[in-house]
Structure 1
C-alpha cells in the first residue's frame, strides 16, 4: 500500500490476536513498529518475528496517563518520529449493568475509553508534526447494542464517537482519524467459546464465519496508508455483513 515505507507506528494491545496481526502487516509494508502491551511475557515472544532494528517493545497499562506519556516519548526517542497510532488495546467483561460490578466498569472504561484518550492525547502533538493518522479498534458493539455486554458496548460506543470528534478537530491539521469495527474475530479468547455460541454468531454474519485477525489487520493497514488519504472520521464495519441485517430473523 502507498506511503507506508519507513513510517513509524505504535500499536497497543500488540502481544497477540488482532494487535499482533496489525503489527505484522504494517511491518511487512515497511513500517517500523513499536509494540505495546501489558503482558510482558507474550510481548517478548511476539517480537521474536521482527528485525530488532525495526521494532521496539513496551510493557504498559494504557489506563495510566503518565505511563502513556512516557511511552510516546520513548517511541519518538527510539525512531525519531511517530506517524501512525493504532489504539487496539481493549478488554471485554460480559454482563448487564446489574450483573457487572463497579470494578468491572472501572476496568473496561479505564482501558477501552481512558486508554484510547490518553494515547491519542499524547500522540497527537507528534502526529501533527508528521501529518500522521490514528486508527482505533472499535467494534460493531459500538454501532449497536448487544445483550449482556452493557459496559463493553458503552465503551466501544465512546470510541466510535470519539473517533468522529477527533477527526473533525484535527482533519484540517493533516491528521486523519478512523476506526475499524469488527464483529467476531478468531482470537485466543473467542476460540475458547463454546461451539453453540460461535454457531449463533455465524448465523448472524452474512459470510457465515468469524474473521481472521489478518483480515482486520489489512483494513487497518489500508486506513493508515496513503490509499485512504481522503477517508476521515469513518467507523468502518469489518464484520462479514453482520451489520447489513436489520435484526429480523432469517426465515428462508
Structure 2
C-alpha cells in the first residue's frame, strides 16, 4: 500500500495552534514526523494541538515578526534535534479595507507577518537543513494571482511569496532543499468565517466544486510536498481552490 512516510523527519509549522497550521501539523505527525508546534498568543490552543498529536510534542511561543524570537525558536530546535527537515511557513493574517481607507499600520502589520515572518523563519532554518537537505512549504493564497477584495496589502504580501519561493528553489536546490508554495482560497477556518465582506454562500457558489476547502486537505498536500514522493517538485506554486481562480 502506497503511503506518505515522514518517519524520522523533524518538522516546524508556524502558526500551528489553529486553522490550516493546525491541520498541517497534525497531518505531518500522522505521517510519522516529529512536529514542533508554534503559537504567538494562544498557549491553550497550542497545548490542545500537542495533546491531539500525542507523545512529547513540543510547543514553542514565538512571534514570527520578531527576528530575535525566530532565531531563539530555531536555536531550540537545533539544540533539541540537531537539524530541521520540514519548515511550513503558515503564520499569516489579514484585514479588510479599500486602499484609500487602509490604515498605514495595517500595511506594515500584514507585511511583517505574511512576508517578513516567512523571511525570518526561513533564514534561520536554512542552516539546519543544508547538511541533510529538507523542504520548505509556504502557505500562500490565490490572491497572488487574482487580488483580494478589500485586501491590496494582503494580496501584495502573498504575491511577494511567489518570487521568494522561486528564488529559494534556485539558490538552495543544490543543497537538496526544495521550496514550494500552496496557494489556497476559501478554506473553512475562523479567518474566513469571520471576514466582514461578501456573502459566504454566494462565494461558495462561485467555486466549481460548490464547497469550501477543508484545512485537512491543505495538510494532505503539505505532507505530500514534504515527502520523497515530491522529490522533483521545486519552485512550484500549487493552486488549491476547487477550480475557482480560473473557472
TM-score tier by shorter-chain length is over 0.9
Partner of 1:174: 176
Which of 134, 137, 145 is matched with 2:136 structurally? 134
Partner of 1:84: 86
Instruction: Give the SS at the match of 1:130.
Output: coil
Partner of 2:36: 34
1-structure distance, mates of 2:148, 2:190: 21
Give the TM-score of the pair, scaled to structure 2: 0.94
Is 1:47 aligned with 2:50?
Answer: yes
* 1:31-90 deviations in Å (ceiling 9; x for gaps): 00001111223212221112333x210111100001101111101222232100000000
Partner of 1:104: 106
Q: Structure 1 unaligned runs (5+)?
A: 246-252
Q: Structure 2 unaligned runs (5+)?
A: none
Contact kept? 2:13, 2:35, Cα under 8 Å = yes
1-structure distance, mates of 2:201, 2:131: 47
Per the TM alignment, residue 195 of structure 1 is displaced from its structure 2 partner at its CA by 10
Per the TM alignment, residue 193 of structure 1 is displaced from its structure 2 partner at its CA by 4.8
> Number of paired residues?
244
2-structure distance, mates of 1:100, 1:162: 25
Per the TM alignment, residue 146 of structure 1 is displaced from its structure 2 partner at its CA by 2.1
Q: Following superposition, which runs of at least 4 residues in structure 1 exceed 3 angstroms of deviation?
A: 192-196
Which of 152, 173, 190 is matched with 1:150 structurally? 152
> How well do the aligned residues superpose, as a CA RMSD in angstroms?
1.5
Contact kept? 2:64, 2:121, Cα under 8 Å = yes
Partner of 2:227: 225
Contact kept? 1:43, 1:59, Cα under 8 Å = no
Contact kept? 1:95, 1:151, Cα under 8 Å = no
